[in-house]
A and B are shown apart, each in its own frame.
Chain A
Amino acid sequence: MTEPLLSKEIINCGSIERESIPSLSIDGLSRHLRESVQNGQRVSALFGIPSLEGEGVEIIALLADDAQGRLWISRTHLQDKRFPSLTPGCPQLHLFERELAEDFGLEPEGHPWLKPVRYPQNPLGGELNQKPASIGIQDFYRVEGEEIHEVAVGPVHAGVIEPGHFRFQCFGEEVFHLEISLGYQHRGIEQALVGGPNQKTLHYLETAAGDTTIGHGTAYCHLLEALTDTEPPLRGQVLRSLALELERLANHIGDMGALSGDVGFLPTASYCGRIRGDFLNMTALLCGNRFGRGVNMPGGVRFDLEDDSLKQLIKMVEIGKQDAKVAIELLWESASVMARFEGTGTLAEKTARQLGLVGPAARASGLSRDIRSDHPAGFYRFTHIPLSSWKTGDVFARAYVRWQEIQQSLHFILEQLHNLPKGPVDSKVSQLKPNQLAVSLVEGWRGEICHLALTDEKGHLSRYKVVDPSFHNWPGLAYSLRNQQISDFPVCNKSFNLSYCGFDL
């Protein structure tokens, strides 16, 4: 039980007065985070805001207690630029601290690997600490010795994928260490959201990570509804969750195809590519866009589902369900595929817990965390989707968890389509409450999407923080490659399938 003095509870999709968050000393926050994480909680977000008093930086930390289904928020006020790093006591903070150092020119002393994250041109803290480093130019961790060689991959890749740089330290075919350097896609989304919300805000967030349009869109809408005390009508909430599950289906099925493509197994690769398209078309039936752009709006959804479309959608889901079953079950029956999946890229539960992994990658390592059941919001408060997990933490586990989730989502969608409540689909959103902090967590297909917003005294956004699941999971990929064959990197990478632009924002 966390002492009330250390943090204040907040519910998912809820807001509290900014001033009511307990303020700790930096040492107090460090101890609090360390102890909470040791007790099974995890850090959902840690970010800075320019202090209200004008001097220094305020750091806000959001802790998630998944077992209890509670969220805790605390803050600290930093006058000095230097402070003792929190990372040594709590490894999952290391990227958050690097981000803080880069955005506000802070100097966490004792940080084990302090480097830029995104190389921003206009950081949130206003002025740059020093001249911005050229993107990707930095020292990498190096292993030296005979027969050690270094392999650099990217940022330009052979396939049509996003840019990122991977530096392998190899001993023959074995990988000793992998360092991932991103930031090539940094667009300054968080900076652009300050002063909103306006007409552009939703579109910025829908494009935060192109394959998670509905996930990020839903998170933003939940946040705005929390800041305006709006409850969307039930039909709107159901349609929104249908869109989210359709996005999960399309991406998971695409991933199954891509995974089998990477091991050279053609049948599933070809069929899943087509079936993914079918599910994208179903999303288009909801809103006219295959990737779900414009399905969400604060207060509900933008389009109602007509009766004709409903019938058509049910039919399409039934067909898609059959097709997916045939194509994907072929994988588990093929010995040659299992030989590639099993025991490849194993991530131990302990490592996954320490790194604070989220989503299917965490569940494949045996962690039970799923926002839909731990911190339900929206329609997930009224229904229950069983959590899918597996123990082994290898590529097979990450594929198999996806397959389980595909089945659960299909079941959920069909059930809701047959019992769609009547009524309106949206409600009016009023002015935002001033001086608030609101939290919204959504289980996107890749994992926990965390949005936090602070409003100023006029009810405008003074800070909007986005934590894409990729931000938590990239270090997981690096760790899963340790002592693996370098030729297994592509299939490991695909089994995580993380977003570059969701990380870079």
Chain B
Amino acid sequence: MVQILIHILLLVIIPPLFLGIINKTKACFAGRKGMPVLQPYYDLAKLFRKKSVISRTTGWVFQAGPVVTVSCLLFAGLMIPFYRINPSLSFYGDLILFAYLLGLARFFTTAAALETGSSFEGMGSAREVTFACLAEPGMFLGFLALARLTGTLSLSGILTGVSLGAGTLLAPVLLVAAGLFIILLAENCRIPVDDPNTHLELTMIHEVMVLDHSGPMLGLIQYGAALKYFILGSVLVDILLPDSNQFFLIELGLFLGAMGLLSIMTGIVESVMARLPMRRVPNLLVAACLLCGVGFLLIGR
């Protein structure tokens, strides 16, 4: 019971922190002082105090978009263990539900964008869906490889079962982790796939779809982005952290530290490389699929 409470609290409260860490890392690389690490929280607080401006051309889907997206992500987050903190929800085959909850969130984001009738948002939706088509198989292959390794089909079993250390196959886990890292960057619209900071509508993928949202709705979208990064990030952290039977607090510290490190890594990737040309993004995603696929083959041998 206590664990479930802690799990839910972590899921709800902590995600924006890691976006703050990414921003801070980027600022350090640019030689700037940067915004406070807690700035994402201040931004959310500000947005939720505001009023939303809603375009007259839109209907209920536009308003439902952010709400459904965040609900889907929260629901999906309930199935992910945070290192040794067991998830609140777990059943046989829940990884299918997990993947399609992310899909449903995406569907509502793009549908809401299409409802505005703006040519930019249509373009962004087309890009988002195209790239998701390529990212999804990668994620499935990765999960499949891990499921094979652990012999279970529930996310909590898979993610708590796999850990680096004695007794596990190192190579396939590392390959899958590399593939999942690329998918993490792509799904969260980070460089090299998308640039979360750009103001140029024509180059955006995800950001352009939410141009018409404002106030609390925009707040929900930003919170959703933080959630998504946190959820996919914890999948990666769960795989990579070594097995342990320590005290609860040490394990919690390990998890948060690893998430922090992951965010710093994301920040470093964003700082040292430029975005890919958009026509090359599929190549990168196919590479992610291949990494996970080869991992799968290695385990199946």
Contact = CB atoms under 8 A, between A and B. Distances in A.
Contact of A270 (B30, B192, B199): B30
B170 interface: no
Interface string B69-105: 0000000000000000000000000000000000000
Contact of A336 (B31, B119, B274): B274
B23 to A, nearest CB: 11
B191 A486 contact: no
Contacts of B127: 173
Interface string B273-285: 1111111100000
A5 interface: no
Contact of A153 (B198, B201, B278, B280): B201
B32 A270 contact: yes
Nearest to A341: B274
Contacts of A152: 119
Given A152-B119, A158-B201, A266-B26, A488 B277 contact: yes
Contact of A334 (B31, B191, B273): B273
Interface string B175-204: 000000000000000011001011111110
A483 to B, nearest CB: 12
A274 to B, nearest CB: 8
Nearest to A271: B31
A484 to B, nearest CB: 10
Nearest to A154: B201
Interface string A257-299: 0001011111101110010000000000000000000000000
B200 A149 contact: no
A340 interface: yes
Contacts of B276: 336, 339-340
Majority DSSP secondary structure for residues of A touching B: helix
Contact of B30 (A263, A267, A336, A490): A267
B161 interface: no
Contact of A267 (B195, B202, B272): B272
B32 A336 contact: no
Nearest to B196: A264
A423 interface: no
A348 interface: no
Contacts of A264: 191-192, 195, 197-198, 270, 274-275
Contact of A149 (B119, B199, B202, B271): B119
B241 interface: no
Contacts of A336: 192, 273-276
Most chain A CB inside 10 Å of its own CB: which residue of B192, B199, B201, B274: B274
A489 interface: yes
A489 B127 CA distance: 16
Interface in B120-147: 120, 122-123, 127
A150 to B, nearest CB: 7
Interface in B266-301: 270-280
Nearest to A160: B199
Contacts of A339: 274, 276-277, 280
Nearest to A488: B277
B30 A266 contact: yes
Given A267-B272, A270-B31, A487 B120 contact: no
Interface in A147-188: 149-153, 158-159, 173
B248 interface: no
Interface string A472-505: 0000000000000111111000000000000000
Nearest to A338: B274
Given A150-B119, A270-B31, A344 B200 contact: no
Given A153-B202, A158-B199, A159-B199, A265 B32 contact: no
B202 A490 contact: yes
Contacts of A337: 274
Contact of A490 (B203, B274, B279): B203
Contacts of B275: 263-264, 336, 340
Contacts of A262: 198, 200, 203
21 contacts: A151-B119, A151-B120, A151-B123, A153-B202, A158-B199, A159-B199, A159-B200, A173-B127, A264-B195, A264-B275, A265-B273, A267-B29, A270-B32, A336-B192, A336-B274, A339-B274, A485-B277, A486-B123, A486-B202, A487-B278, A488-B203
Q: Which 6 A-B pairs have the closest CB atoms?
A: A270-B30, A265-B274, A264-B275, A490-B200, A263-B274, A264-B195
Interface of B: 26, 29-32, 119-120, 122-123, 127, 191-192, 195, 197-203, 270-280
Given A159-B199, A262-B203, A490-B202, 19 more contacts: A158-B201, A173-B127, A262-B200, A263-B274, A266-B271, A267-B29, A267-B30, A271-B30, A334-B272, A334-B274, A336-B273, A336-B275, A337-B274, A339-B280, A340-B275, A344-B277, A486-B123, A487-B203, A490-B200
Interface of A: 149-153, 158-159, 173, 260, 262-267, 269-271, 274, 334, 336-337, 339-340, 344, 485-490
